[in-house]
């Protein structure tokens, strides 16, 4: 076994791990990153990038069909081989040469293999060639191993080889019949993509609606659009058993809680995420394998003494989105660098080393048709926190820019204003092309911009962003 010492050891080379390592290396700290799969992680190869590469042709065609002079030119189906090739190119054909070259260019060492903690500040890596390496960290170890799809324990499910988000974003061909189990972001995005590519899609939702973490109107509008596109949306429906019949690529039969059965070619379970901490040696530092890692606002693990262990990204369960993981990585990297130098820490509510946006201003875009985007709190969440809020809604179809964007534009916007503090605590938009509206709302929520100041942020006419003027007019009465 070979042994090496670094200032920082990072477990996981996804976007979070890459960004954290980049920050610590820029601070002058020797940094090594350990990765058991592809450098670039889940987002680059099986999540954000491939899913959006699949969805962009879908939404572009939908937008074109709403524009006079274009709709007749795009009446036909998508060119499936071209869409899948576009997806494959965006994931670099599942090769990480470019990402590895970037690590080398910034001076970050890479060790391939499965890394496990082996006591304080020590990581043991079992390499693909059977070699074992011991890495010692002088200052910190950062766990950036992310999350994996959580699949329920149902009779027959394991043997049926279901799709998770990985298979759904990387499948080489379109299944004739696809069942999607779940009602969250992955479920509605993949239902959108594969239906547009020609699959007969059935969406099975245990609850009463889609996108339960957003405002109720978001899930309602997305559900209506999916149904119009030909998706069979079934709410209040659970799967009780799964069986794949015959050969490895034989049909799958789902037994439902009402006693009915559904025969499909593939089934996607999009039923949540679990931390990838079950086999990273947490027990050697007094933690429980398989648990989420609770951290402070600098992403330092609370339950470990001496402050040497950090956890950023999905693994700490604060906000399971790539952009939030990268944000946390920048915070954690800055904090590690400052502590390594013995510098006075800038902490607190707005400190450079405090990940406050995970608590108050988390943005998210769902790339369905229509898009759904939100930041901050829903009205119900704000009320549960005991805030005195006022909600203002506006029909996006009444905004001049929306009508120019698309004939028959349908959408809705909502802001949630904290009446006692006088600023937005949440905003939600649903409609074609509204994802690019979200950052203005994020700035308003994260910056706690007073509503009276927002009145003087004049939106350009005629754009969809003019909805801001209409929302503020509604607030002022």
pLDDT by residue, tens only, the chain of 477 residues: 788 999 999 999 999 999 999 999 999 999 999 999 999 999 999 999 999 999 999 999 999 999 999 999 999 999 999 999 999 999 999 999 999 999 999 999 999 999 999 999 999 999 999 999 999 999 999 999 999 999 999 999 999 999 999 999 999 999 999 999 999 999 999 999 999 999 999 999 999 999 999 999 999 999 999 999 999 999 999 999 999 987 778 999 999 999 999 999 999 999 999 999 999 999 999 999 999 999 999 999 999 999 999 999 999 999 999 999 999 999 999 999 999 988 655 544 445 678 888 888 999 999 999 999 999 999 999 999 999 999 999 999 999 999 999 999 999 999 999 999 999 999 999 999 999 999 999 999 999 999 999 999 999 999 999 999 999 999 997
CATH fold of 370-476: Enolase-like; domain 1 (3.30.390)
Confidence (pLDDT) at 347? 47
Contact 34, 21 (CB under 8 A): no
E strand or H helix that includes residue 98? helix 97-106
Q: What is the SS3 assignment for 289?
A: coil
**To which CATH superfamily is domain 157-271 assigned?**
FAD/NAD(P)-binding domain (3.50.50.60)
- Supply the DSSP symbol for 168: H
Confidence (pLDDT) at 415? 98
Contact 149, 169 (CB under 8 A): no
CA dihedral 264, 269, 270, 275 (to 10 degrees): -160
- Rounded-to-integer distance, Cα 123 and Cα 33, Å: 11
- Rounded-to-integer distance, Cα 428 and Cα 339, Å: 38
């607030």: which residue's tokens? 475
Distance from the first to the final alpha carbon of the chain: 72
Distance of CA 137 to the CA centre of its chain: 30
Distance of CA 458 to the CA centre of its chain: 31
Token pair belonging to 456: 């003087």
Domain ranges for the chain: 2-40+96-148+274-357, 157-271, 370-476
The closest of 219, 221, 193, 225 to 205, measured between CA atoms, is 219
Confidence (pLDDT) at 246? 74
Q: Is 2-40+96-148+274-357's fold the same as 370-476's? A: no
* 5-28 burial: b if 16+ Cβ within 10 Å, else e: ebbbbbbbbbbbbbbbbbbbbebe
The residue count for the chain: 477
- Angle at which helices 185-196 and 216-228 pack, to 10 degrees? 20
Task: Specify which residues 5 forms β-bridges with.
Answer: 136
Confidence (pLDDT) at 477? 79
- Supply the DSSP symbol for 262: E
Residues 6+ apart with CB under 8 A from 204: 179, 180, 181, 182, 234, 237, 238, 239, 254, 256, 262
CB atoms within 10 A of CB 84: 19
Architecture of domain 2-40+96-148+274-357: 3-Layer(bba) Sandwich (3.50)
The closest of 144, 111, 183 to 14, measured between CA atoms, is 144
Confidence (pLDDT) at 352? 63
DSSP 215-244: -HHHHHHHHHHHHHTT-EEE-S--EEEEEE
Torsion sign across C-alpha atoms 375, 217, 436, 329:
positive
Distance of CA 142 to the CA centre of its chain: 20
- Rounded-to-integer distance, Cα 231 and Cα 209, Å: 14
E strand or H helix that includes residue 115? strand 114-117
């Amino acid at each position: 076994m070979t042994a090496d010492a670094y200032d920082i050891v990072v477990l996981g080379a996804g976007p979070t791990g890459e960004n954290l390592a980049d920050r610590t290396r820029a601070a002058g700290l020797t940094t090594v990153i350990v990765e058991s799969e592809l450098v670039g992680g889940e987002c680059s190869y099986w999540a954000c990038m491939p899913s959006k590469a699949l969805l962009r042709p879908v939404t572009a065609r939908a937008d074109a069909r709403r524009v006079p002079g274009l709709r007749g030119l795009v009446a036909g189906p998508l060119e499936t081989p071209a869409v899948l090739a576009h997806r494959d190119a965006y994931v670099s054909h599942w090769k990480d040469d470019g990402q590895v070259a970037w690590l080398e260019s910034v001076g970050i060492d890479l060790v391939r293999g499965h890394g496990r903690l082996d006591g304080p500040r020590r990581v043991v890596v079992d390499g693909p060639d059977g070699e074992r390496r011991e890495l010692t960290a002088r200052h910190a170890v950062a766990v950036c191993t992310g999350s994996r799809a959580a699949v329920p324990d149902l009779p027959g499910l394991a043997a049926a080889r279901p799709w998770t988000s990985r298979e759904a974003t990387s499948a080489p061909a379109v299944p004739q019949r696809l069942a999607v189990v779940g009602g969250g972001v992955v479920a509605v995005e993949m239902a959108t993509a594969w239906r547009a590519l020609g699959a007969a899609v059935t969406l099975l939702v245990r609850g009463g609606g889609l996108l339960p973490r957003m405002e109720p109107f978001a899930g309602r509008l997305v559900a209506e659009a999916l149904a119009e596109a030909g998706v069979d949306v079934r709410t209040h429906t659970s799967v009780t058993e799964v069986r794949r019949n015959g050969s490895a690529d034989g049909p799958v039969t789902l037994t439902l809680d009402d006693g009915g059965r559904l025969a499909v070619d593939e089934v996607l379970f999009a039923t949540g995420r679990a931390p990838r901490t079950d086999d990273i040696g947490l027990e050697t530092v007094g933690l429980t394998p398989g648990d989420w890692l609770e951290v402070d606002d600098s992403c330092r693990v609370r339950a470990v003494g001496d402050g040497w262990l950090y956890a950023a990204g999905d693994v700490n369960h604060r906000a399971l989105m790539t952009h939030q993981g990268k944000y946390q990585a920048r915070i954690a990297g800055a904090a590690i660098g400052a502590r390594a130098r013995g510098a006075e820490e800038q902490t607190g509510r707005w400190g450079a080393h405090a990940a406050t946006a995970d608590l108050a201003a988390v943005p998210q875009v769902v790339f369905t048709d229509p898009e759904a985007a939100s930041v901050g709190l829903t009205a119900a969440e704000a009320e549960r926190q005991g805030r005195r809020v006022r909600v203002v809604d506006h029909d996006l179809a009444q905004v001049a820019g929306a009508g120019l964007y698309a004939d028959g534009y349908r959408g809705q916007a909502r802001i949630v204003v904290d009446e006692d503090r006088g600023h937005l605590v949440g905003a939600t938009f649903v409609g074609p092309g509204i994802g690019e509206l979200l950052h203005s709302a994020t700035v308003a929520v994260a910056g706690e911009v007073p509503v009276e100041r927002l009145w003087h942020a004049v939106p350009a006419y005629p754009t969809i962003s003019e909805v801001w003027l209409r929302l503020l007019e509604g607030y002022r009465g």
